[in-house]
Amino acid sequence: MSERSEKTPGKRNYLLVIPRLVLNIGDGYSFPLGLPYISSSMKQAGFNVTTLNLNHLDGDVFTILNDVIERDDIDVVVTGGLSFQYNTVKRVIEAAKKNDPRIITIVGGGIITSDPEAAMTALHFADFGVIGEGEITICELCDAIESDCPISQVDGIIHKSEHGFSITGPRKDIEDIDSIPWPDYEGFELEKFFQASPSISGLNRKNTVFMISSRSCPFNCTFCFHTSGKKYRQRSLDSFFKELEYMVSRYDIEYVCLADELFARNVERVKEFCTRMRKFNLRWWAQFRVDNITPELLAILKEGGCDVMSFGLESADNRILKSMRKGTTVEQIEHSLKLVYDAGISMEGAFIFGDIEETWETANATLDWWRSHSEYKINLNLITVYPGSYLYKFACEKGIIKDRVQFLKDGCPQVRVSKLTDEQYSTLVLSIMEAPMTLAKVLSTIEVRNIDYKSARMDVSGRCTACRHTNVWENIKFFTTNFLGCQNCGQRYNTILPPQLRANIDTNVAKLLACYGKIGIWGINYHIADLFKQSTTLHDANVYPLDISEAKRKMDLYGKTIFSPESIKTENIEAVVIAIPVYFSQIDGQIRSNFENVRKIVDICSLIDPDFTAGLNTF
């Protein structure tokens, strides 16, 4: 259930909790490294630490926490996450405080670092927030708590005070990241995590370990916020490979995800990395930039086991790239993507529309470029204004974001900061939804088999149209997997829902309508837009598409209006289908907190099951 360290008499007992990010136990998620790093640092410093990963435990969060708190006589609960994970983070500290108001709660991660006062206000049940990297800060804070020393002496802390909140002095970035103990993988049950495919674009592999070789990023794009500090620092390769050696000896690892914001900055370092990776015979995923890709480097990467190269492309218009402070050009994008494609390495990337300087002309320039290069299967998204970023500060100053606390509670919805008119923006949103399906590459001889309706997973086979290789992809979950990559040449294909599963969804939507009268479909992306386009059942007047993004609500969804989630109250909608499974926990938390009239919450993946029962209350 959880791991606990040896107790030291007279010291406080700490519970470190990774919030629940999955819908069903066994589903994939991106293994967070923040709390495992905190745990190993606290254990090394001699604190009494119990660890808990809610993604591996069935049952109600309150009940699970209550049992562990009572069993281990917990005094302090520590958790954290990113801004869009607000509801899952809040659920942990709320459960702790409701169990015993005397429990001290500490929250860290991007949710605090990006906008400390707004986050602490929204979280409400947090006593302390850790700003920036937490390994040193948390140990100093816990020392202060145990010795009753003034918190003001601990840098990098926000805490409740008589007049609201007090923030202590800034914490310096950790210069030598080799000095940080390796993450506490064992404490958070990495072996259980291995049994599911990670929930990250481009990764469909079990037994994937997440590791870092650097922290932060040397660039300052307007849409980005560096949660791990302002200064880019790299681990020594000796340190990285010593950890990897241990992981390979300890676990059955098949794949490595380099969770760096930017992996390939120093070409010589990358070459050495690839040389040292060869002996492990492991495939790996990492993030790159397009301004330093060469045929020589690609040959080394391929030989070194690089499986997927992820690129932050952002736009195919140089005016927008300049506005974003990206430091790259369209010419570099064209040159590098062709080199990668010809080298047969799978790649992924995205264009994000809606920068401050975005116009109808620049948006269409990017769309036209995308249509002319559909072989690269670049994802299309609206820009998200993340707390802490330049865009966030701009949106707050201009009154686009009127309430920073409510913005966090709402899940950081997409807002319009561009120069596009409302009409242009709504047309653009629909184009982004339609494009992946209208120009999707189709596998020849595609076949779906071994469908497990309970887990909504299946095996898919198909012949690549580029190299004619016959692929078999196992344990694929639709609505969560962005693409399927050819296992021979890397060509990517959209995961298009087969006709028989579309029919099952229509049948089950009809069951929900018969039982509840009205249903909401929360979360509109290209998977869901494609369902609405081809379904008559979803066009029933009592089916309400819902989205937190005001931008998407301006879009005409093939004759359907997209409503605000507030329509759940005004229209008395009692059943809601969550259409984006990777955000199920976050959306589920919003529904439970804000809409008492909802009696049933459904994962869209469960609607592919022909034996689905509409039922009654799932609360």
Alpha-carbon distance of 18 to 184, in angstroms, equals 12
Number of neighbouring beta carbons within 10 Å of residue 609: 18
Question: What class, spelled out in words, does domain 3-167 have in CATH?
Answer: alpha beta
- CA nearest neighbour of 72 among 54, 50, 92: 50
Alpha-carbon distance of 212 to 192, in angstroms, equals 20
Domains 3-167 and 499-608 share a fold: yes
- CA nearest neighbour of 602 among 498, 517, 520: 520
Are residues 562 and 546 in contact, defined by beta-carbon separation less than 8 angstroms?
Answer: yes
Q: Is 78 strand, coil or helix?
A: strand
28 vs 288, higher pLDDT: 288
- Which helix (H) or strand (E) segment holds residue 209: the answer is strand 208-211
Q: Side chain identity at 22, as an amino acid letter?
A: V
pLDDT digits (tens, 9 = 90+) for 13-29: 999 999 999 877 888 88
Compute the mean pLDDT over every residue in the chain, rounded to the nearest whole number: 91
Alpha-carbon distance of 28 to 34, in angstroms, equals 18
Are residues 114 and 83 in contact, defined by beta-carbon separation less than 8 angstroms?
Answer: yes
* The Cα angle at residue 496 between residues 380 and 382, in degrees rounded to 5: 15
- Which residue bears the tokens 């218009």? 317
pLDDT digits (tens, 9 = 90+) for 553-566: 988 899 999 999 99
Alpha-carbon distance of 526 to 529, in angstroms, equals 5
DSSP string, 425-465: HHHHHHHHHHHHHHT----EEEEEEEEETTTTEEEEEEE-T
Domain ranges, ordered by start, for the chain: 3-167, 197-420, 444-494, 499-608
Report in angstroms the alpha-carbon separations of 230 from 80, 132, 239, 381, 392: 19, 9, 22, 26, 17
pLDDT digits (tens, 9 = 90+) for 59-102: 999 999 999 999 999 999 999 999 999 999 999 999 999 999 99
Report in angstroms the alpha-carbon separations of 377 from 288, 340, 371, 528, 535: 17, 13, 10, 18, 25
R_g (Cα) of the chain, nearest Å? 24
pLDDT digits (tens, 9 = 90+) for 343-396: 989 888 999 999 999 999 999 999 999 999 988 889 899 999 999 999 999 999
202 pLDDT more than 70: no
Please give the distance of CA 147 from its chain centroid, rounded to a whole number.
38
Query: Checking phi first, is residue 182 left (phi over 0); if not, alpha (psi -120 to 50) or beta?
Result: beta
- Which helix (H) or strand (E) segment holds residue 107: the answer is strand 104-108
pLDDT attached to residue 448 = 83
Are residues 446 and 462 in contact, defined by beta-carbon separation less than 8 angstroms?
Answer: yes
Alpha-carbon distance of 55 to 51, in angstroms, equals 12
Are residues 348 and 202 in contact, defined by beta-carbon separation less than 8 angstroms?
Answer: yes
Mean pLDDT, rounded, for 213-230: 94
Are residues 169 and 175 in contact, defined by beta-carbon separation less than 8 angstroms?
Answer: no
Tell me the longest C-alpha to C-alpha distance in the chain.
69
pLDDT digits (tens, 9 = 90+) for 463-501: 888 788 898 888 787 787 567 778 787 777 777 778 888
pLDDT digits (tens, 9 = 90+) for 600-617: 999 999 999 999 998 765
Are residues 286 and 263 in contact, defined by beta-carbon separation less than 8 angstroms?
Answer: yes
The domain defined by 499-608 folds into Rossmann fold (3.40.50)
* CB half-sphere exposure, 619, CA atoms < 13 A: 15
Three-state SS string over 511-549 comes to: HHHHHHCCEEEECCCHHHHHHHHHCCHHHCCCEEEECCC
Q: Within 198-254, where are the H helices?
A: 237-250
Encoded tokens for 505:
């969804």
Are residues 244 and 183 in contact, defined by beta-carbon separation less than 8 angstroms?
Answer: no
Q: Is 426 strand, coil or helix?
A: helix
pLDDT attached to residue 572 = 97
Question: What class, spelled out in words, does domain 197-420 have in CATH?
Answer: alpha beta
Number of neighbouring beta carbons within 10 Å of residue 392: 26
Alpha-carbon distance of 499 to 370, in angstroms, equals 27
pLDDT attached to residue 184 = 98
Encoded tokens for 57:
């435990």
48-53 and 3-4: which strand pairing? antiparallel
